[in-house]
């Protein structure tokens, strides 16, 4: 029945780049060799739809079985049977060209699986795709002389606000559907976007976004701060719309914006379909494949997977839910098979049946329920026998859940998050760097874990408390009608699922593989990540290596250098007064440095006004040997030599003054530094040009690379501070050296190499950066 009904047909599919859509396309190509497929694919930012389909659909391991069967003929088979058109269900008219419209509307049936599936999508995005998308599709199909049969994939959770039996019936007029007008909801969602955008541009909020950007990036420079400020604003708007969607959905009894907009999308489609024949198919929670195309096939993290991994890693000590409640899970291959069967049945009898379009729920709860307590027990048994391992190679003991209420768990996590945020803010005020900055990183990790756990509870907790039981009478009736040969190729009977086998032998192993977590004891057997990154940095293919100086190659700074020079020729009593004055100024200088490194240097270098040039150059040579070298990082200097030995160009870019870094010139191919003006043999205290800090460093590096014919994507940059982010982001291989707190967090999140370089042991460790004895000219 199924093969015969679909043989020679042209089937349109939306959402083919998603989990379910990929499974449907694979099943049609492998099990119905006589059909053709038209894919509606949204264009990517940098690639056309054909390349996107090849990359995101046909390279997926779902097609390994078909690729193995066809061998070298696989690509030809795809080219012969698959047509890709550019379109977007979030746009009126689907954004189709005239030719693509003719191709798409020429289909016999269209399977609509495209959706915004995130449970915490912004309200307006979910409305445009989930609510209006099916109606837009029906409008395009309805304009054809012979409209294609539309198989619209919805979700069982359109009835999640119902307790007890939820049969396969249309939503309008059902007792659990609230009295709301979908048009009003569309208008309200669009207003919410406009209101949030306007509110985000309020001067006080813009100042708050700027403050938050500066707190995260420090003195990173105006362009980077502006970019971060705009991202903060956009995130604020998105957060407001996420909360608006969550609040509106829950006010009407739905667990989230996904089920809310899917429900209204069904109602809108029934009103707007204009004679397009229709079948509605509602899966429950779609998870990894039971058998097809191979057991455990999964694409990305599905709904329950983050909770499972968080539980296995010991991060979720408690989770709300009703222990005797049903977790309605259905393997993806059963859903794909049911879609094929429903499509074939619709094409065999194209007119709507009496009573309106057919509705099928592909679910397990009514026919083969998986109770929440049993799922937890199965998960605990699995991870007790097959534990995950922590970073020290020790097995993680999974917790015992007591099934508390959602409010209690949320309260515990919110209190933990608040405490960790306070600790984070406190550490951010301290001048920590290198390994000390790891304290802040560890606290940030714990805070992020609490955030994730709280998000899981808020997003998924309601599903563990759902008391609707989704009926599958029509689905089982369809199963009874298909022929035995089709039952083997298109199995979708939920009664056949052995939950112990599925959870233990299929799903849990698949989730663990997908999560790429540590599953073996002891240390890692593969090459450590730091070694791989270091090898990439020192590969012969690199072109250029740029280095910061302070706290990257030496444990010193411009204040220490000035203090040494300024006290070099002072008597002891004046030297002590100088030290006390400098210590008193330290907090203000640190604050100015954190606000803007360039402004700090301009302000501080004015102290050199009137200093004799010849005398400073003489003292600078002694400063280098007595202070700079004793505070140097031997590993850093070795790294410079390694780059030069590999034929890489090396450049030092620093805000330090030229006469202070002159002794380092033999180590580098070029040095870019700060220079002061000179008048009458004395320094003016004013810089000749913009100091090479922040974004200026990135510009200097880009200009240097262009002048030398070098590519920045093959360049390496070493720096210690978030103020150096423009330079680090400009190159292909950034390295954070002894990073301060902000940069440490950024480098960890972005996967950059982090080096911890130290001073040579045994050297002098003066308490203050001043000469031990005054210059000979000041001795009695």
Q: What is the pLDDT of residue 353?
A: 59
Judged against a pLDDT cut of 80, whether residue 316 lies above it is answered with no
C-alpha to C-alpha distance for 655 and 652, rounded to whole angstroms: 10
Nearest CA to 533 among 712, 757, 748, 758? 748
Judged against a pLDDT cut of 50, whether residue 780 lies above it is answered with no
Q: What is the pLDDT of residue 777?
A: 42
Q: What is the pLDDT of residue 302?
A: 62
Judged against a pLDDT cut of 70, whether residue 390 lies above it is answered with yes
Q: Are strands 544-547 and 285-287 parallel, antiparallel or unpaired?
A: unpaired
Judged against a pLDDT cut of 90, whether residue 398 lies above it is answered with no
Burial of 319 (0-12, 13-18, 19+ CB in 10 A): buried
Backbone torsions φ then ψ of 44, nearest 5 degrees: -80, 175
Nearest CA to 678 among 688, 690, 693? 688
Q: What is the pLDDT of residue 765?
A: 59
Nearest CA to 710 among 542, 594, 559? 542
CB 735 within 8 A of CB 536: no
Q: What is the pLDDT of residue 433?
A: 61
Q: How confident is the model at residue 776 (pLDDT cuts 50, 70, 90)?
A: very low
- What is the reported pTM? 0.79
Q: Which domains, and CATH codes, for the chain?
A: 1-180+254-284+328-367+471-492 (3.40.50.720), 184-251 (no CATH), 534-759 (3.40.50.1000)
C-alpha to C-alpha distance for 753 and 509, rounded to whole angstroms: 31
Return all residues near 672 (Cβ < 8 A) that are at least 6 apart: 651, 652, 653, 654, 692, 700, 704
Q: How confident is the model at residue 108 (pLDDT cuts 50, 70, 90)?
A: very high
Q: Where are the alpha helices (DSSP H) in 624-720?
A: 634-645, 658-661, 695-708
Burial of 209 (0-12, 13-18, 19+ CB in 10 A): buried
Q: How confident is the model at residue 227 (pLDDT cuts 50, 70, 90)?
A: confident
Q: Are strands 733-737 and 753-755 parallel, antiparallel or unpaired?
A: parallel
566: its two tokens: 């300024």
Q: For the residues 165-187, what does the mean pLDDT come to?
A: 88
C-alpha to C-alpha distance for 83 and 495, rounded to whole angstroms: 36
CB atoms within 10 A of CB 349: 12
The partner residues of 754 in beta bridges, in order of sequence, read 736
C-alpha to C-alpha distance for 101 and 144, rounded to whole angstroms: 10
Q: Are strands 682-687 and 676-679 parallel, antiparallel or unpaired?
A: antiparallel
Q: What is the pLDDT of residue 110?
A: 97
Judged against a pLDDT cut of 70, whether residue 428 lies above it is answered with no
Q: What is the pLDDT of residue 517?
A: 81
The partner residues of 671 in beta bridges, in order of sequence, read 652
Q: What is the pLDDT of residue 778?
A: 38
pLDDT tens digits, one per residue of 723-736 = 888 899 999 999 99
CB 746 within 8 A of CB 725: yes
CB 682 within 8 A of CB 608: no
Q: Which of 387-401, 580-594, 662-676 has the lowest mean pLDDT?
A: 580-594
Q: What is the pLDDT of residue 96?
A: 92
CB 718 within 8 A of CB 735: yes
Query: Which strand (E) or helix (H) includes residue 676?
Result: strand 676-679
Q: Are strands 164-166 and 468-470 parallel, antiparallel or unpaired?
A: parallel
Higher pLDDT, 230 or 161: 230
Q: Are strands 329-331 and 649-657 parallel, antiparallel or unpaired?
A: unpaired
Nearest CA to 590 among 224, 218, 222? 218
716: its two tokens: 């390496």
Say which residue the tokens 């072109």 belong to.
543
Q: At what angle do helices 222-251 and 695-708 cross, to 10 degrees?
A: 120
C-alpha to C-alpha distance for 356 and 259, rounded to whole angstroms: 22
Say which residue the tokens 């505070």 belong to.
631
The partner residues of 283 in beta bridges, in order of sequence, read 362
The sign of the dihedral angle between the CA atoms of 601, 602, 606, 609 is positive
Q: For the residues 91-115, what does the mean pLDDT come to?
A: 94
64-98 in b/e form (b: 16+ CB < 10 A) is eebbeebeeebeeebeebbbbbbbbbbeeebbbee
C-alpha to C-alpha distance for 492 and 277, rounded to whole angstroms: 23
Q: What is the pLDDT of residue 358?
A: 93
Q: What is the pLDDT of residue 199?
A: 97
C-alpha to C-alpha distance for 371 and 377, rounded to whole angstroms: 10
Q: What is the pLDDT of residue 572?
A: 74
58: its two tokens: 């046909």
Q: At what angle do helices 305-312 and 508-515 cross, to 10 degrees?
A: 80
The partner residues of 40 in beta bridges, in order of sequence, read 14, 85
458: its two tokens: 């808020």
Q: What is the pLDDT of residue 427?
A: 63
Q: For the residues 340-368, what does the mean pLDDT come to?
A: 86
pLDDT tens digits, one per residue of 486-535 = 999 999 999 999 999 999 999 999 988 888 888 888 755 556 788 999 99
766: its two tokens: 């003066």
Q: What is the pLDDT of residue 520?
A: 84
DSSP state of 722: G
Burial of 407 (0-12, 13-18, 19+ CB in 10 A): exposed
Judged against a pLDDT cut of 90, whether residue 586 lies above it is answered with no
Return all residues near 307 (Cβ < 8 A) that are at least 6 apart: 316, 319, 456, 460
Judged against a pLDDT cut of 90, whether residue 308 lies above it is answered with no
Q: How confident is the model at residue 135 (pLDDT cuts 50, 70, 90)?
A: very high
Of 47-61, 312-326, 434-448, where does the model show the most confidence?
Answer: 47-61
Higher pLDDT, 306 or 78: 78
Q: For the residues 324-334, what does the mean pLDDT come to?
A: 92
Return all residues near 461 (Cβ < 8 A) that are at least 6 apart: 319, 320, 321, 406, 409
Judged against a pLDDT cut of 50, whether residue 536 lies above it is answered with yes
Burial of 679 (0-12, 13-18, 19+ CB in 10 A): exposed
Q: What is the pLDDT of residue 236?
A: 96
Backbone torsions φ then ψ of 628, nearest 5 degrees: -65, -50
DSSP state of 692: S
Measured between alpha carbons, how far is residue 253 from residues 162, 247, 459 in Å? Answer: 8, 10, 14
Nearest CA to 649 among 692, 698, 708? 708
Averaged pLDDT score across all residues of the chain:
87
């Amino acid at each position: 029945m199924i093969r015969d009904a679909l043989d020679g047909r042209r089937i349109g599919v939306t959402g083919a780049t998603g989990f379910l859509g990929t499974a449907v396309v694979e099943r049609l190509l492998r099990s119905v060799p006589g059909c053709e497929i038209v894919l509606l694919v949204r264009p990517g930012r940098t690639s056309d739809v054909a390349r996107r389909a090849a990359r995101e659909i046909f390279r997926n391991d779902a097609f390994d079985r078909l690729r193995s069967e066809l061998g070298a003929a696989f690509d030809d088979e795809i080219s012969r049977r698959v047509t890709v058109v550019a379109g977007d269900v979030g746009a009126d008219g689907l954004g189709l060209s005239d030719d693509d419209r003719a191709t798409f509307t020429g289909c016999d049936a269209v399977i609509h699986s495209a959706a915004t599936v995130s449970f915490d999508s912004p309200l307006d995005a979910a409305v445009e795709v989930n609510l209006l998308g099916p109606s837009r599709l029906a409008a395009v199909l309805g304009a054809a002389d012979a409209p294609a049969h539309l198989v619209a994939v919805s979700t069982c959770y359109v009835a999640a606000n119902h307790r007890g039996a939820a049969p396969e019936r249309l939503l309008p007029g059902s007792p659990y559907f609230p009295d709301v007008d979908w048009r009003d909801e569309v208008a309200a969602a669009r207003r919410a976007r406009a209101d949030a955008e306007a509110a985000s541009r309020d001067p006080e909020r813009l100042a708050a976004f700027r403050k938050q950007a500066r707190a995260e990036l420090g003195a990173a420079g105006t362009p980077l701060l502006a970019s971060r400020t705009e991202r903060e604003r956009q995130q604020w708007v998105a957060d407001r719309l996420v909360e608006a969607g969550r609040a509106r959905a829950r006010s009407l009894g739905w667990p989230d914006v996904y089920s809310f907009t899917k429900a209204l999308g069904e109602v809108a489609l029934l009103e707007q379909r204009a004679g397009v024949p229709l079948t509605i198919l509602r899966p429950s929670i779609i998870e990894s494949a039971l058998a097809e195309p191979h057991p455990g096939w999964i694409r990305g993290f599905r709904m329950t997977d983050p909770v499972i991994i968080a539980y296995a890693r010991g991060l979720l000590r408690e989770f709300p839910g009703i222990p005797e409640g049903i977790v309605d899970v259905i393997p993806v291959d059963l859903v794909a098979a049911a879609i094929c069967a429903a499509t074939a049945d619709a094409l065999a009898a194209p007119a709507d049946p009496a009573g309106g379009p057919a509705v099928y729920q592909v679910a397990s709860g009514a026919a083969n329920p998986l109770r929440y307590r049993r799922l937890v027990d199965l998960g605990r048994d699995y991870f007790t026998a097959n534990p995950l391992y922590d970073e020290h190679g020790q097995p993680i003991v999974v917790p015992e859940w007591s099934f508390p209420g959602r409010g209690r768990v949320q309260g515990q996590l919110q209190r933990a998050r608040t405490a960790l945020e306070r600790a984070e803010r406190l550490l951010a005020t301290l001048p920590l760097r290198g390994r000390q900055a790891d304290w802040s990183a560890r606290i940030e990790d714990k805070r992020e874990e609490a955030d994730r756990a709280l998000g899981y509870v808020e997003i998924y907790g309601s599903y563990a408390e759902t008391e609707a039981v989704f009926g599958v009478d029509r689905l089982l009736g369809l199963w009874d009608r298909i022929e035995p040969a089709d039952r083997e190729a298109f199995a979708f009977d939920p009664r056949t699922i052995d939950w112990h086998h599925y959870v233990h032998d299929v799903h849990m192993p698949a989730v663990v593989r997908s999560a790429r977590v540590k599953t073996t004891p002891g240390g890692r057997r593969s090459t450590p990540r730091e070694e791989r990154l270091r090898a990439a940095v020192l590969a012969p293919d690199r072109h250029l290596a740029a280095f910061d100086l302070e706290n990257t190659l030496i444990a010193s700074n411009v204040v220490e250098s000035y203090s040494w020079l300024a006290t070099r020729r002072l008597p002891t009593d004046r030297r002590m007064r100088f030290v006390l004055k400098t210590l008193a100024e330290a907090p203000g200088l640190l604050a100015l440095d954190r606000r803007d490194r360039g402004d700090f240097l301009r302000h501080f270098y004015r102290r050199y006004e009137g200093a004799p040039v010849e005398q400073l150059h003489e003292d600078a040579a002694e400063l280098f040997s007595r202070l700079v070298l004793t505070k140097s990082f031997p590993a850093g200097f070795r790294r410079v030599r390694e780059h030069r030995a590999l034929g890489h160009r090396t450049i030092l870019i620093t805000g330090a003054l030229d006469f202070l870094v002159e002794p380092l010139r033999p180590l580098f191919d070029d040095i870019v530094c700060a220079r002061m003006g000179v008048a009458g043999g004395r320094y003016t205290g004013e810089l000749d040009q913009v100091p090479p800090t922040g974004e200026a460093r990135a510009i200097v590096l880009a200009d240097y690379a262009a002048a030398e014919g070098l590519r920045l994507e093959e360049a390496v940059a070493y720096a210690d501070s978030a103020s150096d982010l423009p330079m680090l982001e400009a190159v292909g291989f950034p390295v954070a050296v002894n990073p301060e707190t902000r940069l440490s967090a950024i480098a960890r999140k972005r996967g950059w190499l982090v080096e911890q370089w130290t001073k040579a042991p045994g050297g002098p460790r003066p308490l203050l950066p001043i000469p031990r004895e005054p210059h000979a000219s000041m001795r009695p």
